Structure 1
């Protein structure tokens, strides 16, 4: 039996036909191509379908049709005639259905489209975190038993066009991220009340939590962290995206205590680079980590992320933040000036050199990402560690009593680097705060189960509900 829904999709598109004659980039490789068939009351008609990242192309009777399927509705269906599996794609009031061996094409389509049967596919196990207008759940796939992190947005809190654009933009950016050091999104679901992002489950906690309980890191370990982040940011920039909020709280470990596998998360403030500087949110970020040109209202580009990584490098090497004010306004002012104290930092000359080049107040003088990756800091850190290993091998381990433990001095801080003090300084401007509103799991399941047996997505022109967004979302911008 086909699954059918009656609510009007939040992503419903205004279109006059399904095939929109989208211009096809002939240089782009197809993700897949195969033969399927279209079913009519009288016959089955073969058709050749091709798929690239966003476009579905159909060839039939020497004619070619194309359509953009990004954020189109996507459902698995069953033929009424022979029980073959098929796919239904919905755009506005128009649908296109095809049948055949659809598993491969469906797996590709779900990466860019919107599905409607979340509770049929996933079981919510517990809440992980909550914030302003989204909640993070631990969920398990009913078919594979794999666990995922599901970011759940309540639609009534998204009440204006700008907020909707920001949500769609975040979803679009996440879909582009295909790198080990970047958060992965697998699929998106929707019902009448909620939107679900099914994402990779990262189990190691954030870097801030790790630093809170760890001793001072070696330069080799620090160099590995920074190098991995540079690799991730380089890929992100190659997709035309700026992150704009790199900080320890947004750097997540895949597994506990494994610093070699760190992931950049929270793309709530990320945006596509715009030459004219016309960003949806132009002056944004977290005080103490923001590039000065953002705070000064100057034009900026990809180098804002280099500056934030430089702040992180400063924290890892010194154990303190470069800008510490008595309040947020003072922190912002110090951050805007960009005057940093490099005294009393116990590190190599190469580490100090890279840090200073990353933290150049003027972006035109700041090191590029390619030059940063080739900096001697990374190769020399490895050499020094190798030399230490050779020396330590010469030691007679028997001379060390078993009861004794070698201890490393704890990380030096000018102010305790604890979670409470850091959160007090920065929470006000942290984007996409994980939800304060908890959502009743039973109500989510009930909402969807009431819809699952109704008729197809409403073809009627239903007016969208006036959604109310929690005022804290406006804190994504920083007004000085």
Structure 2
């Protein structure tokens, strides 16, 4: 059959060099000495290329040609992806440089490219890049995160994500590994970050805030039930599945997450983002998954006001505000009801034993409409007058990522912990112990 290939069919195969996933076609052509032309922009540059670049290569719709080839030879994409030997190093450059401007700096695993069509770069970080891909058979879109294979924190994240399946937690599909990189295929979240929506809106309506909080708590209730604590919840780590107003909310970024092996097990590592960190971490005492619930309180406050409850350029003052729960419901910013205030107060409780759990919070009257006597704690006006007033009221719109996107420095917290404990001991907020 191979020796009976007609000249027109040979020409058709030659045209397939433009396809990003056509590595296996070039191997086929090379094996049977069918002449081919590889353009300078081809993703297949390497020791399997047979001739010099052509300045006027024909631009053919190679996806259609691939489909015809698969129909003629009855090949399956997934089966083919498993049998194609990777090039040296296991990686190949990204395909269409008109879409991927930095193609030369990024290399994709050939097995991944056979299974997914690479579309565009959607994000870059100091240690990773994210590209948008489409599954060739199902046509579903996914996000692929490219990170160094020796990145320690990503291994922890993958172990956590491989164990979770919930509608409000980002889904890990599969992972490809080369000698130098990991290619992590994730559920596509095209709706952007919660942070971006709050910045665009200024603040959420109470109805919008309730919907977002319910989804967040549902995901947390599941995670805590399997003893996983996120430890870095914030609007930047909450993504919407699609751009619609009623989109699902997805909990993402499990780089700092921890899974306990025993019930009631505590943690001691200092980690997180300063503005969202719970008092018990600052006071360097063992803590539980209630640290996530403190962060939910901070996020709920942000959604309903558009400002940060704890915000100060001076780190020591910021931490003092946190351990004394120094936050105020400013009338000019706050859009929530009295029940919403009660809900936030029950979460921003410096005593972690009294702080609501995820299961309790999701059943709070603010979210359900049912009265819950355990969830009616509110701060009396007299309490506000006892708190220091040197605090910032910047909106989240004016607080850039660089201002509050960095992580907590454990050494800095250790240096401050003695002073913070003295402050906590001198107030009724010492109940955190």
Q: Is the 8 A contact 2:202 2:306 kept in 1?
A: no
Corresponding position of 1:244:
231
Cα distance in 1, alignment partners of residues 80 and 304 from structure 2: 56
Counterpart for residue 308 of structure 1: 295
Give TM-score scaled by structure 2 length. 0.60
Note if contact 1:284-1:478 (Cα within 8 Å) is conserved in structure 2: no
Aligned to 1:128: 122
Q: What secondary structure sits across from 1:324 in the alignment?
A: coil
- The answer (yes or no) to whether the contact 1:292–1:336 under 8 Å persists in 2 is yes
SS of the equivalent of 1:285 reads coil
Q: TM-score, normalised by structure 1?
A: 0.55
Equivalence for 1:417 = 396
Q: What are the equivalent positions in structure 2 for 1:290-439 lying under 5 Å apart? A: 290-344=277-331, 345-380=334-369, 414-418=393-397, 421-429=399-407
Distance apart, 1:205 and its partner CA = 0.7
1:204–1:258 contact (8 Å) kept in structure 2 = no
Q: Distance in 2 between matches of 1:197 and 1:335?
A: 36
Specify which structure has the higher proportion of strand: 1
Say what the alpha-carbon RMSD is for the aligned residues: 2.9
Could you tell me which runs of 5 or more consecutive residues in structure 2 were left unpaired when the two chains were aligned: 1-22, 24-78, 83-108, 371-391, 414-433
Aligned-partner SS, 1:326: coil
DSSP 3-state at the match of 1:117: helix
Q: Larger % of helix: which? A: 2
Count of residue pairs the alignment pairs up? 286
CA-to-partner distance for each residue in 1:332-373, whole Å, 9 max, x for gaps?
343344322235344322111111011101101111222212
Distance 1:416 1:310, change over 3 A: closer
Q: Is the counterpart of residue 141 in structure 1 residue 135 in structure 2?
A: yes
Q: 2:164 aligns with which of 162, 177, 188?
A: 177
Question: Cα distance, 1:224 vs. partner?
Answer: 1.4
Displacement of 1:170 in angstroms is: 0.8
1:150 aligns with 2:144: yes
Q: How far apart, CA to CA, are the structure 2 residues paired with 1:154 and 1:247?
A: 25
* Structure 1 residue ranges without an equivalent (≥5): 4-84, 89-114, 382-412, 431-474
Tell me the equivalent position of 1:210: 197
Describe the SS at the equivalent of 2:304.
helix
Deviates most, 341-350 or 223-232: 341-350
What secondary structure sits across from 1:428 in the alignment?
Answer: coil
Report the CA distance between 1:297 and its aligned residue.
1.2
Query: Against the structure 1 CA distance between its residues 416 and 355, is the aligned structure 2 distance closer, same or farther, given a 3 Å change threshold?
Result: closer
Residues of 2 paired with 1:257 and 1:291: CA distance?
32
Give yes or no for contact 1:127–1:137 (8 Å, CA) kept in 2. yes
SS in 2 for 1:202: coil
Q: Is the 8 A contact 1:277 1:299 kept in 2?
A: yes
Work out the CA distance in 1 between the residues paired with 2:168 and 2:249: 6
> Aligned in 2, Cα 1:176/1:306: closer, same or farther, shift over 3 Å?
same
The C-alpha deviation readout for 1:399-440, integer Å capped at 9, x for no partner, is: xxxxxxxxxxxxxx932332x62313212228xxxxxxxxxx
Q: CA deviation at 1:251?
A: 0.9
Do the aligned residues in 2 keep the contact of 1:323 with 1:334 (CA within 8 Å)?
Answer: yes
Partner in structure 2 of residue 271 of structure 1: 258
Match of 1:80 in 2: none
Cα distance in 2, alignment partners of residues 422 and 87 from structure 1: 43
Structure 1 CA distance, aligned partners of 2:401 and 2:319? 15
Tell me the CA shift for residue 319 of structure 1.
Answer: 2.1
Report 1 or 2 for greater relative contact order, CA contacts < 8 Å, sequence distance ≥ 6: 1
Q: In the alignment, is the contact (CA less than 8 A) between 1:291 and 1:304 conserved in 2?
A: yes
